[in-house]
Structure 1
Amino acid sequence: MEEVVEATETVETSAQVEATESNEVATESTPEMASDEELEENPLVGETETVLAHVFSGEVEGEVFTLDQLEKPSDEYSKDEYNQLMGMYENTLNEIEEKEIVTGRIISIDDKYVVIDIGFKSEGIVAVNEFNNKQLESMAPGDEVDVFLDRVEDKDGQLILSRRKADILQAWEKIEASHTSGEVVEGLIKRRIKGGMVVDLFGIDAFLPGSQIDVRPVRDFDAYVNKTMEFQVVKLNMVAENVVVSHRALIENDLEEQREQILDTIESGQVLEGAVKNITDFGVFIDLGGVDGLLHITDLSWGRVDNPSEIVQLDQRLNVAVIDFDERSKRVSLGLKQLQPHPWEGIQSKYPEGMKVQGRVVSIADYGAFIELEKGVEGLIHISEMSWTQHIKHPSQLVEKDDVVECIVLNINEDEKKISLGVKQLTTDPWADILERFPIGSKHQGTVRNLTNFGVFVELEPGIDGLIHVSDLSWEDKIEHPNEVVKKDQEIEVVILGVDFDNRRITLGHKQVMQNPWETYAKEYTPGTEVKGSVVKVTDRGAFVALEKGAEAFLNMTKSVVAEFKEGDEVEAYIFRFDEQGKNIELSQLDADQKKVKAAKKKAEEKADMETGAPTLGEMSGLAALKEKMEAEEQAEADQKAKNEE
């Protein structure tokens, strides 16, 4: 039994409604039941029509036609008439190919779709969102429009058209033509990205590198966003859909003629006006109007410049002098300081020797500090000219960079552009009257400042030091290192032994504060004198004996009558040898040595008597004769002189 139901059936065009077979059966359905695929492929989904359909029960109703019957000509037309009509219909159809842009006529426009006739068997539709608002406002049925034929027929027999693809394809064709011919095109800068900007070029995103925006470096990229500019397509890759444009190329083309004119007339010594284009650590690039010149940091000022931004700013306009122009490389060297007088002109009159000046510390080296007296004029305070008394190891102990210091002009070498300065000359030289304050032989109190292997440095007054040699610390003790006797910061009494004014050195002595005991020992311990003492130290060679007067003597085992010694043993012996200069006394217990010493002593005494005793009669008579002879010669000389005067 057949049931008649009401169904919602999707239709695409009026032609499809007519072609719907009567035996199609649809169950109750709603628009919500349509699949996503149907919505995507059928843009008119949602428009419904109520039809009556039969539920097929297996029984055939009505008249049945075969395919051959359907293909036969109608009874109303003969076969020739039918073929003629079919030919006339087919001639009205255009020959079209897929993936091409075709021109169609707008049939109708509604809120969702635009129906377009491209001269094919069926019309096509294009969603209104593929047209911009301006196009939609100006379009009307009957107008012609270019569309892209994507497919002649989809699975539902629908003609697939696209306005967006037509725009894109036309845009690529325009971009390709512009790239080939070099034609200038307009584009809208949409946004900023890393390395440059994105430009809308006929709906295609093109890349504008930051370096291609202007001939000058761009500092504010955001200022170009939403700005329409002219561009030249400099790179195109259709496969990769890569488009690179440049605005700088257009500017350079305009500047080329101006550039050639400047290069033809430029020469050394010429003064030109330019704008600061870029600032680097080593200098400044100046735009002279299509030609860039380099203003090196050393040519910015006669003075010291740490960074070019101290002198100039970006986009600043200024006059510069052409220092050099290389015609081969087209490089232009510029100068700014050359437009100003040289600061060394009249330097002798500005800074005479002995003048007190003020300056800023601009640099510090191991050997001294450089002082800027004015821009382009610097002097050196050598480390040796910083203090009369302090031992300065590095100038940073006294000055720091950017300090303002006072100093004295010592010397000017105009040829080498050098000025010698001094700080210590601001005060009186403490060495000028050093001998008046520290005469040789005078005693003073000092402070131990440093100990070395060879002696002790003692501060006599702030900045005045003297040296006590290790040999001048004690008359008697044999000192290997000064720390055996003194300590740092200890107060010590000294005697001035010598003053070297040229080298600024003072020789001091500590043992000289006391009387030399060896002068007494020389009288008490003459060779042959019998002495007593006690052993204080024993060695393989002998024993050291402390004598009663305080001296220490050495008793060699070869001069001893005892086989061995122990510390504390009492010893009786004779002075065998006494060396005052070498501070050395030798003992002996052998009688033979005593006899030798006594004999030598007696002989020495006899010799001394002969040299210092009264003259003999013979000597006296000889002297008298010599005296008479000398008096006679003097008288003869006087007589001759008087005769000559007459």
Structure 2
Amino acid sequence: MDDVSTEVRVGEKIPGKIIAIGEDSVFLNTGTKSDGVVEKAELLDENGEFPYKVGDLLELYVIDTRDGEIRLSKVVSGSRSPELLYDAYQNKIPVEGKVTETCKGGFRVKVLGQNAFCPISQMDINYIEDAEAFVGQTLKFIIERMESGGRNLVVNRRRYLEQLMAEERENYLASVKTGDIVKGRVSRIMPYGAFVELHSWVEGMVHISEISWARVSDISEVLNVGDTLPVKILSIEKTGGKHGGVRISLSARQATEDPWKTVGSRYRPGEKFKGKVTRCLDFGAFVELEPGIEGLVHISEISHTRRVVRVENEVTPGQTVAVMVKSVDPINRRISLSMKDAEGDPWLDLEDRLSVGQIVSGRLESKADFGYFINLAPGITGLVPKSKMATGSDLQTMEKLKTDEQVTVKIVAVNPTERKIELAPANSGDTEDWGKYTKTDSSPGSGLGALGVKLREAMKSGKQDK
């Protein structure tokens, strides 16, 4: 039978399945005649917990094959032989080193009893702002250059991190697929989307259009860095970069139920709700009833009381308004809404409030060639035709009225169906009604009213004096 050293060699990375877990050591089946062994402390996670169980598969480096035993390790550490240092260099096995001080251009690092140099650009993946923060830390490195029998060493932590990233990424991507819903943590927010960390060294992006079923214009209004949320994997695309990068597209909204699927059970025609105006267009205003559910209030459905010419003059984005559901179309994702129906139609009970012959006060709304429009109440406007003005006793007063001035008028006709009210000056009337507004005096001058009476009396008094 061959020696163990002929089956595996120092520096080689080999797979092994855990077959036993001891108090200090973990034993693995390496597929050779000898089992492998690794110190349990090397396999603890960042919380000091042992995350593995019997049957789990690990990949570790061979660091020794003497005495018929395969010693395994995640990294080369401690004070080992120069041969092991050379093997680590040749086979790119990670080694542990302690950062002792900063120096010009980088750091001095103690590696396996030897002094080494690490350029500052190769100490981390990210830009280093505080170099002193690394001093005193024991970290993992790749030996980049080895000269003079190990007395001149250059190490690289960035390359080790990139290898670790690639391994972590590969392992994670092997466990997920397109369509899976996973949890992630928001790591960065940009104007066009949010980056979400799915696993160590694995990040995907949620485009702004995939943040929510609701319309999102500013991501920071709905997400914060550090937020944890479920996301759906839309695609995994290898970019072919130097370090095996991938581009992962994610969706937060597709990880939750589409609210339009059940919209019909929550919104029925005739029901009233409050919503927030999201957009104003020439033809109407969009109102959000809940995140992801918007309806349209057509310009003709904004008000009973005013003729709306510009939507922006009536409502503004962000304003809360009351609306009534007119129709719901889940298939085409449309809801028709009405603000004026939510307020109530002032013409519905008009006949109970106004009657023919009634004298009411109103406000001059506008003048036209054919008559004057008088506003009697919000949403209720009547017309005094020019022909009716002539029947009043004070035509000049009517003609001198200015917009918004108060005037007293008489109800001549009410037609709620056609939304029309005919008005006349309060002192006007047909022949049979004239007695209601004038004195029944048949003597000469009676048609002149009170002024005529006074004038007649003065004339009589003058004749008597003569």
CA displacement 1:31-58 (0-9 Å, x = unmatched): xxxxxxxxxxxxxxxxxxxxxxxxxxxx
- Aligned counterparts of 1:498 and 1:263: Cα–Cα separation in 2: 79
Of 372, 387, 403, which residue of structure 2 is paired with 1:488? 403
Q: Does 1:256 align with 2:166?
A: yes
Of 450, 461, 464, 2:377 maps to 461
* CA root-mean-square deviation: 5.1
Distance 1:442 1:198, change over 3 A: farther
Matching residue of 1:421 = 337
Aligned to 2:235: 324
Change in 2 beyond 3 A, CA 1:350/1:457: same
The answer to whether the 8 A contact 2:143-2:156 is kept is yes
- Quick one: distance in 2 between partners of 1:376 and 1:206? 51
Give the equivalent residue in structure 1 for 2:210.
Answer: 299
Contact 1:381–1:420 (Cα < 8 Å) also in 2? yes
Return the alpha-carbon distance in structure 2 between the equivalents of residues 223 and 350 of structure 1. Answer: 59
- For 1:467, the aligned partner's letter is L
- 8 A Cα contact 2:284 2:296, kept in partner: yes
Tell me by how many angstroms 1:320 deviates.
Answer: 2.4
Mapping for residues 576-591 of structure 1, pairs under 5 Å: none
Task: Indicate which of 129, 133, 136 corresponds to 1:225.
Answer: 133
Contact 1:272 1:288 in 2 (8 A): yes
Report the 3-state secondary structure (helix = DSSP H, G, I; strand = E; otherwise coil) of the residue aligned with 2:259.
Answer: coil
Residue 281 in structure 1 maps to residue 195 in structure 2: no
Aligned pair in 2 of structure 1 residues 278, 360: CA closer, same or farther (>3 Å)? same
Taking the aligned partners of 1:313 and 1:403, their CA distance within structure 2 comes to 25
Structure 1 residue identity aligned to 2:402: K
Q: Choose from 385, 406, 411 the match for 2:327.
A: 411
* CA–CA separation in structure 2 for the residues paired with 1:189 and 1:420: 70
The TM-score with structure 2 as length reference comes to 0.51
Q: What residue identity is the alignment partner of 2:378?
A: P
Question: Offset at 1:302?
Answer: 2.7
- Report which structure shows greater RCO (CA 8 Å, sep ≥6): 2
Quote the residue 1:434 is aligned against. Answer: 350
Deviation, structure 1 residue 498: 6.1
1 CA distance for matches of 2:131 and 2:390?
88
Distance 1:187 1:502 in 2: 90
1:484–1:315 Cα change, 3 Å: closer
Find the partner of 1:361 among 270, 276, 281: 276
Structure 1 residue 269, shift from structure 2 partner: 0.8
Deviation at 1:294, TM superposition (A): 1.2
Kept in 2, the 8 Å contact 1:443–1:513? The answer is no
Report the identity percentage: 29
Give the AA of the match of 2:257.
P
- Structure number with greater Rg is 1
Q: Name the aligned partner's letter for residue 303 of structure 1.
A: A
- Return the alpha-carbon distance in structure 1 between the equivalents of residues 421 and 98 of structure 2: 90
Cα deviation digits, residues 460-501 of structure 1 (max 9, x gap): 23331123455664479xx9x999532233343445566665
1:270 aligns with 180
Question: How far apart in 1 are the matches of 2:419 and 2:105?
Answer: 77
The one-letter code matched in structure 1 to 2:261 is E
Whether the 8 Å CA contact 1:275–1:315 is kept in 2: the answer is: yes
Q: Is the 8 A contact 1:473 1:511 kept in 2?
A: no
1:350 equivalent to 2:266? Answer: yes
Question: Is the 2:276–2:288 Cα contact (8 Å) retained in structure 1?
Answer: yes
Residues of 2 paired with 1:401 and 1:232: CA distance?
A: 57
Contact 2:102 2:108 in 1 (8 A): no
Shift of 1:323: 1.7
CA 1:266–1:327 in 2, change beyond 3 Å: closer, same or farther? farther
Is residue 341 of structure 2 the alignment partner of residue 341 of structure 1?
A: no
Higher strand share: 2
- The residue type paired with residue 284 of structure 1 is A
Task: State the SS of the aligned residue for 1:487.
Answer: coil
Which structure 1 segments of 5+ residues have no match? Answer: 1-177, 192-196, 235-244, 517-646
| TM-score, structure 1 normalization | 0.39
CA drift at 1:458? 1.0
- Provide the C-alpha distance between the structure 2 equivalents of 1:474 and 1:434, rounded to a whole number of angstroms: 27
Secondary structure in 2 aligned to 1:432?
coil
- SS across alignment from 1:323: strand
What letter is aligned with 2:264?
Q
Equivalences for 1:596-611 in 2 at 5 Å? none
| Secondary structure in 2 matching 1:513 | coil
Residue 295 of structure 1 and its aligned partner are, at CA, apart by 1.3
Indicate conservation of the 8 Å contact 1:275/1:317, yes or no: yes
Aligned residues of 1:369 and 1:380 also touching (Cα < 8 A):
yes
Change (3 A) 1:334 1:205: closer
**Deviations for 1:72-104, whole angstroms, at most 9, x for unmatched residues?**
xxxxxxxxxxxxxxxxxxxxxxxxxxxxxxxxx
| Aligned match of 2:50 | none
Instruction: Tell me if structure 1 keeps the 8 A contact 2:280–2:317.
Output: no
